[in-house]
Structure 1
Amino acid sequence: MTIFVKRYATPATLRAAQTHHAWLVGLNADVRLPRLLDRFSDGLAFEAMPGDIPGPVRMPIVAAAIGRLHTAAAPRLRDSRLDRPHDVGACELADFIHTRRHRLHDTARTHHIPITAVDRVLEAASTLPASLYKDSNLRNFLITDTDGVAIVDFDDLTLAPYGYDLAKLVVSMAMTHGPLDTNVIAMALDAYNSALGQVRCTPEDLAIWAELNWLLTTPYTGRNGYHQHWPSLRPWPHPLTRRL
């Protein structure tokens, strides 16, 4: 069997990734997760999964998988709040607000976005139902021939609003491939909402979460495949400036 070994800088980050993987496996969501085969002092060995990184036209398929993962996680997050950590037994999921506020402030200043606009979004988000964030950049998914969508990389796991993971997928696709077809974005949002059931993410919320994701991703522009600049690709009016 072919294996893939992921190395970690510290024992703490290794333990976190292993715990996150085990918790996601325990959700029994209708998504493919690689098996953990072995653990070393500085790394985890997973089964290597054949497949291709999805391109923009595959966004609806990936969006549905994200929605299925969020639906499976919902019973475990019923009493959670986005402004405080949540203990799910196997691990503690970091909160959405405090883990991002300072980084959002730093990049907002760099891009001349008022801090007050960011804080208003975070304040509003604190009252929303909590879902899951698992770094849904396009490189953390594989399209396989036999299993559909596979999810890889388990370093980051936090609480987040519904739609935030989908927004990360949209932003990472645009920053990698350039302008996106708005019809495909709409299809992806529909696929995500269909997988959720009663909870929904609106187009307006998706635009706001995309902006936060861009602010957190922009320091990596020019690296990790992010060669495009989101402000020149944004398929909707700037949602933060509309809130001034």
Structure 2
Amino acid sequence: MSTEDSQNGENRFRRSPTGPAITPPRIPPGRPPAPPPRAPLLKRHFWSIAIFILLVSGVCIRAYRDLSQPDAWTYWKDQYVSPSLTSQVVDTLYLDGSSRGRRALFVSGTIGPAAASWFRTRLDQANLAPGDIVLLASPGGDLSQAVIMGEIIRSRSLATAVGSTDASGRVKPGYCASACVLAYAGGKTRYGVLGSALGVHRFVTTRPVDDPVAEAQRISGAVLGYMTKMGVSSSIVEAMSETRDIRWLSPKQALAMNLVTEQLAKP
């Protein structure tokens, strides 16, 4: 650099309109440039914590709203804590004592408020094929859940039977009453096991309603529509409406109503 250039450079710094001339700092050779300034860690941590608190608050508020609904805790308990139904996969079930067996899912217990979701999961795990059997043994329970269970059974073209099973896969007599009959009606084929019983009665609601008569008519209409869809005679609704106590159907009555479609032993 010439002396003139040097003087011109100095003049440029001196003529700065913003103040006295300042020579820019020189970086020693071999030293990397200083990194750009970073945002304070405290600020970033603050926003992370704030977002986390908002997410947790949203989950808690939703859980509170769910649990504050009527019967919500009963549903959660039946779904996650202690299901009212139990199941057992039977690799080979012998319905009529013959050597021909089929895969089955044995379901027993009371039909609780989360029974349909529980049942769907157990069916998925059992990996039943169309024509395989859902073996039921239940005193009844939740009407709407039983209807959904029946719909699931029909959608998978499964058969139904009533009874229990031993370690060898032989069917022992059992009973299916009240709402269980609706789940049983979902079978594409509904087997009648000798000695097993199907029981029906008038369905009532346990929830407080403004018009109990209208509610009873609504329930009867819904049951009639469902049974008709499943191919069961409307006479079963008449049998239900006759008593609040369990009425046990004879094998001939169950056949006449088409509730049982295939009797495994002569009535």
Give 1 or 2: higher helix fraction: 1
Whether the TM-score (by the shorter chain) exceeds 0.5 is no
TM-score, with length taken from structure 1? 0.29
TM-score, with length taken from structure 2? 0.27
Larger relative contact order (Cα-Cα within 8 Å, sequence gap ≥ 6): 1
